[in-house]
Amino acid sequence: MDAHTTLRNAVKLGGSLLVTYVIGFGLQMLVPRMLGVESFGKYNWASNTSTAFFILSALGLDVYIRKEVAVRREHASEFFAGTLLLQGVLAVVLLGAMYAVMRLDGQPSEVLSLVLLLGVYQFLFRLNAILAAVLHAHEKVDGLSVAHILMKCIWGFGLALALWLGAPLPWLAAPFILAELFKAGLLFHLTRRHAGLRMNLDVRATGTALLAALPFFINDAVIATNGRVDSMLLGFIGNTTETGYYGAVWGIAGLTMLLSPILSWVLLPMMSRAASSPEESTRILRRGLEGIFSLSVPVTLALALGAETWVHLLIGKDYLPAAPVLRLLAPVFVLTYVATVCASWLMAANRTWTVTRTSIMSAALNLVLNLVLIRAFLAWRGPTGGASATATSLAICETLVTLILVYAIGSRAWDSRSLAVLGKTLGTCAAVTAVHLLLGRFGLDSRDLTRGLARMGVDGIVYLSLILLTGAVRTDEVLGLVRQVRNRRKPQSSSSEPPPSSEARAA
């Protein structure tokens, strides 16, 4: 696969994700408003609890497939049926475990039912992630992009209808299950058609694949705990109001993670293929880090500086006490992007256990910090204190992970150009922050929605002006990239052969 095909696939996936994010974001802002802090806290806690339990069913197969099936196209058929059977057994065990824990904790029946139904959704969601990984590895993403959009439409319409009808909490899980069932049926068809996926039960091949996927499983499971296990602990140690505040602003902060799935789907297979060429691998790493930093920093800065404005605008005045939590969460996502790129490079270089050990350390530290800080912050800050403690714990852990992974790569992670971009971007951020604080002294208070939006508008103009003046973003390269994606490879005019089909070009 060449760079043109990689870029086209990234654009296709990005386009479908943009559509699904618009739908998802709209509902993510609507749900807190319509449920209120207390009911949304129950909903958010149930969602994160089911996710935390079903992390164990992921098995690391989606990451393993993107790395190995990208270079061994028939490999998925050797283990898929066996792992699917194992995942089904695990789902039954995990549903039973969740039921027992919820009963012992004395959770009300509506929360118990919601957790179990969301557990069913989690099983289907993880199955679809594996099927999608097979298509990513085979570079067949057209149908997958359509599946993303259709699934999100089913989910979005169903959830909006349930909210409008005032349905009980357990009914909010129904749209998720229906959407994933539809997507599973479509992806089974696509993987059989485009990837030749077969249901061959081979116990030995299944065991070999699971063992090889173990470091990916551990790393993926630990990463998936971010915002999930800590939110579950927040509900147990604190209360559902705290999880409501935390979940609502987490939804806003999650805006910055639009590119995260594309990085996982495209970058690891691309780096795996380039692993045999140290120069190419290093080039992809450096330019990837440079690009992701340039894209994520302005969004993160806007969230941090305008926390009160965004909370007021997107989820309402009732959640304004949680604005400081959003400010704490905002920098986490830049760090997550950098860590994702570094982890992909290390995995492609067969240094998966370096990533896995770092993730285990982070998960253990995050658990300890939450257990120590939640009660202390609740006593210190009162309402939203527990949410602030959870956000602080996550920020500390993500900082350490990023530093460790960058250190593990060493000087290959940067060159003079990327260091210059880093310095210019950070200098621009400092200048914009100074302007933002100065505007506050002149009466543009972020707690007033109109003035807050005006303040953010000025911040945006200053950032864009400085970033272009300093050359932190190279407009010639951005325009060149757009032209490359738009002008797909064209057949020679002198050739008598018909132009290749879209499937042939994607191969």
Give the per-residue pLDDT at 224: 63
Poorest-confidence range of 134-138, 222-226, 321-325?
A: 222-226
Distance CA 321, CA 73 (A): 52
Domain assignment of residue 352, yes or no: yes
Whether residue 343 contacts residue 405, with contact meaning beta carbons closer than 8 Å, is answered with yes
Q: Does residue 505 fall inside a structural domain?
A: no
Write the pLDDT tens digit of every residue in 276-299: 677 777 887 887 788 788 888 888
Is the residue at 135 inside a domain?
yes
Which tokens go with 284? 């992809």
The pLDDT score that the predictor gives to residue 275 is 66
244 and 220 within one domain: no
- Over 70: is that where the pLDDT of 76 sits? yes
Predicted confidence band of residue 422 (pLDDT cuts 50, 70, 90):
confident
**Could you tell me if 186 and 289 lie in one domain?**
no
From CA 473, how far away is CA 486, in angstroms rounded?
20
Query: Residue 160: pLDDT band by 50, 70, 90 thresholds?
Result: confident
Question: Do residues 59 and 207 both lie within one domain?
Answer: yes
Asked if 96 and 235 sit in the same domain, the reply is: no
pLDDT tens readout for residues 93-131: 999 998 998 888 778 888 899 999 999 999 998 888 888
Residues 284 and 332 in one domain: yes
Judge if 235 and 184 occupy the same domain: no
Please identify, among 200, 224, 248, the residue that sits at the C-terminal boundary of a domain: 224
Both 164 and 46 in a single domain? yes
The predicted model scores a pTM of 0.65
Say yes or no to pLDDT of 238 above 90.
no
> Each residue of 28-54: pLDDT tens digit?
777 888 888 888 888 888 888 888 788
Q: What do you get for the CA distance between the two ends of the chain, in Å?
A: 7
206 and 244 housed in the same domain? no
Q: Quote the Cα angle for 356-359-363, to 5°.
A: 140
Number of domains in the chain: 2
Burial class (CB in 10 A: 0-12, 13-18, 19+), 408: middle
Residue 146 or 1, more confident: 146
Residue 298 lies in a domain: yes
**Would you state the structure tokens that stand for residue 147, as one six-digit string?**
């599946």
**475 assigned to some structural domain:** no
The answer to whether residue 325 scores a pLDDT higher than 70 is yes
User: What are 388-409's pLDDT values in tens digits?
Assistant: 999 999 899 999 999 999 999 8
In a domain, 425, yes or no: no
Residues 196 and 261 grouped into a single domain:
no
Taking 90 as the threshold, does the pLDDT of residue 26 lie above it?
Answer: no
The pLDDT of residue 432 is 92
Q: How confident is the model at residue 262 (pLDDT cuts 50, 70, 90)?
A: low
Quote the domain boundaries for residue 332.
227-412
Do residues 220 and 231 share a domain? Answer: no
Q: What is the C-alpha to C-alpha distance for residues 397 and 367, in angstroms, rounded to an integer?
A: 10
Report the amino acid identity of residue 384.
Answer: T
* Same domain? 115 vs 40: yes
Q: Does residue 220 fall inside a structural domain?
A: yes
